[in-house]
Amino acid sequence: MSNQSNFIAAALILAVALHAGVVGAEGTGLPAAVRAPERLSETGLYRDISNGTIAPRNLSFEPQYPLWTDGADKARWIRLPDGATIDVRNTDGWVFPVGTKLWKEFAFGGKKVETRMLWRARADQWVFASYVWNDAQDEAYLAPEVGIRNHAEIGGGARYSIPSQAECRSCHESGGTPVLGFNALQLSDERDLLAPHQKPLKATSLTISRLERFGLLYPRRPDLVENPPRIEARSPRERAVLGYLSANCGSCHNSRGPLAGLGLFLQHEIGLSSMGVDPALATSVDVAGQFVVPGTSRDGSRRVAPGAPQASALVYRMSSRRPSSQMPPLGTGVVDAKAVELIRAWIAEDLGAK
């Protein structure tokens, strides 16, 4: 065959392949997605699950602004691969090394109900898994992908549901980074003492200064130790409100995810807080939303109506557990009364006074 026909043949094959969408098509030649193990004991969280001993290399942490999950008592751990560090060049978007695992355990009345796991199994895949505890409390099994509705009684007539994979992803993949409680603000050494449901740090809990001391951050960030991240606000109460909204609502209500078009930005970014009005305040205080609080006029209803909690959509929707109006829309069946009280007081007193 002549050189020329070789060329033409090659060009034709390439062009036909391009045309047919074979070259660069999605999903070709990629290994199948990694699956979570069937049992919690196989994930490496426990050294001995039968007596509840956590493997010593898993480090515990307590985010200062916890997510409300119907009053569950929570414990959390992280495991980094040996010698690996967290890339913290972007203060608001930490990047975890491949192999990182994070766990969160949920208990009601001293009984373990569920343990959730986030695992960066590959550079391009985070595995989400939920394990459901047995009655003997010596093993937990992988929950079905669709979750388990009304799984357990938790007192007061309420029942606890295990979220579906799609629900995990709604909260964990609607912002910049899938890890929500292990970041600069949540692990700051200067804790917000008014934060609802915050648990005191244990001697072993990871904070930024410990991460820095253990050399787990890349690059080193002595600045985050000297100036611990905190939300700048006009009052301590406002600080706690902004922190609560960031953790409990900001995973969906932010400027990067699928809800960006709604224009309600409750996620706090340390990098932005030094510049002018906090986005959470700018997009809520005295701003009319799409949702109109029942019983108020379209003109009277506000996302946050200064001085008027009863005309504030935020309060209305946080106080609801009816499916068509509750906020958050999933992952909870019981109102967070303490947080509603905090936000009411902020709207009535802090914002009403001016």
Partner 1 sequence: MRNRIALFSIFVVMAAFSLFGEARNQKERVERGKYLVSTMGCNDCHTPLTMGANGPEPDMSRMLTGHPESLVMPPPPSLPEGPWSTVVAATNTAWAGPWGVSFTANLTPDPETGLGNWTEKQFIDTMRTGRHLGIGRPILPPMPYFMIGAAHDDEIKAIFAYLKSLPPVKNKVPQPIEPVAAK
Q: Which residues bind partner 1 (CB under 8 A)?
A: 3-4, 7-8, 11-12, 15-16, 18-19, 166, 170-171, 174, 252, 258-259, 261, 290-292, 294, 321-326, 329-330
The Cα 70–Cα 131 span in angstroms is 18
Q: Does 80 bind ligand HEC (CB under 6 A)?
A: no
Q: How many residues bind ligand HEC, per CB under 6 A?
A: 45
How remote is the C-alpha of 318 from its chain's centroid?
A: 18
Instruction: Identify the DSSP state of 262.
Output: G
Shortest reach from residue 2's CB to ligand HEC, in Å = 56
Q: Does 175 bind ligand HEC (CB under 6 A)?
A: no
Strand partners, 107: 73, 112
Burial of 333 per CB tally in 10 Å (0-12, 13-18, 19+): middle
Shortest reach from residue 255's CB to ligand HEC, in Å = 14
Helix (H) or strand (E) holding 169: helix 165-172
Helix (H) or strand (E) holding 120: strand 111-122
CB 217 within 8 A of CB 262: no
- What's the first-to-final CA gap in the chain, in angstroms? 87
Strand pairing report for 217-218 and 86-87? parallel
Stretch that binds ligand HEC, among 18-26, 50-58, 91-99, 288-296 (CB under 6 A): 288-296
Instruction: Identify the DSSP state of 272.
Output: H
Shortest reach from residue 103's CB to ligand HEC, in Å = 5
Residue 63, binding choice from partner 1, ligand HEC, none, Cβ under 5 to 8 Å by partner class? ligand HEC
Q: Does 45 bind ligand HEC (CB under 6 A)?
A: no
The Cα 256–Cα 182 span in angstroms is 19
Shortest reach from residue 299's CB to ligand HEC, in Å = 15
Shortest reach from residue 171's CB to partner 1, in Å = 8
Shortest reach from residue 205's CB to ligand HEC, in Å = 13
Residue 318, binding choice from ligand HEC, partner 1, none, Cβ under 5 to 8 Å by partner class? ligand HEC
Contacts (CB under 6 A) with ligand HEC, residues 91-120: 102-104, 116-118
